[in-house]
Chains A and B, each alone.
Chain A
């Protein structure tokens, strides 16, 4: 886990580099997403650049598609894409590296961007696996603001109904959305009870903790007869006090001074991780 802690700080920096080069991004949610996505790709998701078309590969759909910059950083680290190319061309005219997932890029299963699509699509993927007798697993990560979309609950209902224990959904519960706190905008609590009522196995963790996330993904694999939701309680903008828990950093582009401060904070984070 120690190596992943260190790596996470490098990838936060890569994410920041991509955002700064492209002139925009969703930095707050990128930072709260980082650890859940990193642990998934490093320790649990069974797919590599050479198995992107293998019928038995695990599937992942980034439902909170606006956190694409973090996804780019991880896809690059895992060898699906080239970091220098992504950084140079992100959001540029005619670039394939747009601000949301696009399945023309290797390793990306489905297009997203509009919220509330990832879970229902993954229900279909998980059902296909069950009906075909395959053992692959299906993962999606949603934002918490996204849970206001009715389609999320249509998918949740079907996943419970079909007892899809090969499906694991993560909620990046950073408790902030563009207009303010989720509980002010549209409350979700008691979130765990809501999913449980739909027939889900519920695991709540500190989503800023790599170790806790890793355990949660392992526990999700052990659940039988139920899909699992990991409620990943995170800090929006995690890694730099400048951004943390501030709704305004949903998609704020750092100024030069802010950029420098965030870079220093990430470097300090990495140094702490290296010495832990």
Chain B
């Protein structure tokens, strides 16, 4: 089991580049510990900005830095970053088109036992609704590294959500296919299948597990890692849907406005199929660790496979 959370990979990747790229700036809202950014703050104090517990200020300051040529990475818990500073993300980042990368840490139900205030089950919908804002949910540490490296190369705003805990590897150091804004096919490309599973973030691993379970039951499934929720890789969605009887999306998000809603829009327009959207409920989630919460709502390999089998009966 991998022990390195994606947030730590973000720090390591930024540190690897900050040595030579003095325009890289990291901002935190008293969140350097939870964002695993303490090493960056200690090694690059001149490229680190602490704003205190002030998320609105965090995002506006980042936009101001970006407007003066800096590559601003603003890290804060996703629950606060995507709601408390939503207008700053809208006006100062998306509308003004500043080079601000909003890093939503401890996303989804990472803080499972802390209550709805600390859950970000709306961030995909909220951030995706902003024109000019991109939304990424990397699935593992290797993809996170590739994504951050790609984001260092562009000058547009983006929102990146990662969870708090280490997640199982999907890829490896030497085998991490990555193309910016293109979904990664994990299995089943070019084959006719019964179910196309499309997932993002921490839900990619259970989607892969579900495909294995389904295969043992004689049900062929494809799996897409849709780390780029916006811009959604519509071509991949259409290709997957056309080769399958049904489409199943899996996300750590509310049922509204997230990956499932976006995939259903594309499938409905281009290649109508039954689309089943698996997600958190439209309700405050049950108390527990992430794995406990996922298990409760069926967001596991077994749970996803069971839904697919039921639909295909």
Q: Using a CB–CB distance below 8 Å, which chain A residues touch chain B?
A: 55, 59, 103, 109-114, 116-117, 120-129, 131-132, 150-151, 154-155, 157-158, 161
- Interface segment among B86-94, B209-217, B225-233: the answer is B86-94
Total interface residues in chain B, CB < 8 Å:
29
Taking the complex as formed, is B113 at the interface, i.e. its CB lies under 8 A from any CB of chain A? no
Assembly CA distance A114 to B93 (angstroms)? 13
> Given A109-B67, A114-B87 in contact, is the A123-B57 Cβ separation under 8 Å?
yes
Chain B residues with CB under 8 A of A157 = 52, 54, 57
Does A120 contact B60, Cβ atoms closer than 8 Å? yes
> Given A120-B61, A151-B60 in contact, is the A112-B91 Cβ separation under 8 Å?
yes
Q: In this complex, which of A116, A123, A128 has the most chain B Cβ atoms within 10 angstroms of its Cβ?
A: A128
Does A124 contact B64, Cβ atoms closer than 8 Å? yes
Taking the complex as formed, is B193 at the interface, i.e. its CB lies under 8 A from any CB of chain A? no
Chain B residues with CB under 8 A of A117 = 60, 87-88, 91-92
Does B68 contact A129, Cβ atoms closer than 8 Å? yes
Distance (Å) between the CB of A106 and the closest chain B CB? 15
Q: In this complex, which of A59, A109, A111, A161 has the most chain B Cβ atoms within 10 angstroms of its Cβ?
A: A111
Does A127 contact B96, Cβ atoms closer than 8 Å? no
Taking the complex as formed, is B306 at the interface, i.e. its CB lies under 8 A from any CB of chain A? no
Does B64 contact A128, Cβ atoms closer than 8 Å? yes
Chain B residues with CB under 8 A of A161 = 52
Chain A residues with CB under 8 A of B65 = 124-125, 127-128
Assembly CA distance A200 to B68 (angstroms)? 23
Does B91 contact A123, Cβ atoms closer than 8 Å? no
Assembly CA distance A59 to B51 (angstroms)? 21
The residue from A111, A112, A151 contacting B57, defined by CB atoms under 8 A apart? A151
At the interface, is chain A mostly helix, strand, loop or mixed?
Answer: helix
At the interface, is chain B mostly helix, strand, loop or mixed?
Answer: helix
Does A121 contact B69, Cβ atoms closer than 8 Å? no
Does B64 contact A122, Cβ atoms closer than 8 Å? yes
Does A127 contact B88, Cβ atoms closer than 8 Å? no
Assembly CA distance A150 to B46 (angstroms)? 27
Does B88 contact A158, Cβ atoms closer than 8 Å? no
Chain B residues with CB under 8 A of A150 = 56
Assembly CA distance A117 to B56 (angstroms)? 9
> Given A124-B65, A124-B67 in contact, is the A111-B56 Cβ separation under 8 Å?
no
Taking the complex as formed, is B293 at the interface, i.e. its CB lies under 8 A from any CB of chain A? no
Chain B residues with CB under 8 A of A129 = 68
The residue from A124, A151, A154 contacting B68, defined by CB atoms under 8 A apart? A124
Does B57 contact A120, Cβ atoms closer than 8 Å? yes
Taking the complex as formed, is B178 at the interface, i.e. its CB lies under 8 A from any CB of chain A? no
How would residues 54 to 74 of chain B score, 1 for a CB under 8 Å from any chain A CB and 0 otherwise? 101100111111111110100
Distance (Å) between the CB of A256 and the closest chain B CB? 36
Q: In this complex, which of A131, A155, A157 has the most chain B Cβ atoms within 10 angstroms of its Cβ?
A: A131
Query: Known contacts A109-B67, A120-B88, A158-B51; can you find 8 more A-B pairs with CB under 8 A?
Result: A110-B67, A110-B98, A111-B96, A114-B87, A116-B56, A122-B64, A123-B64, A124-B72
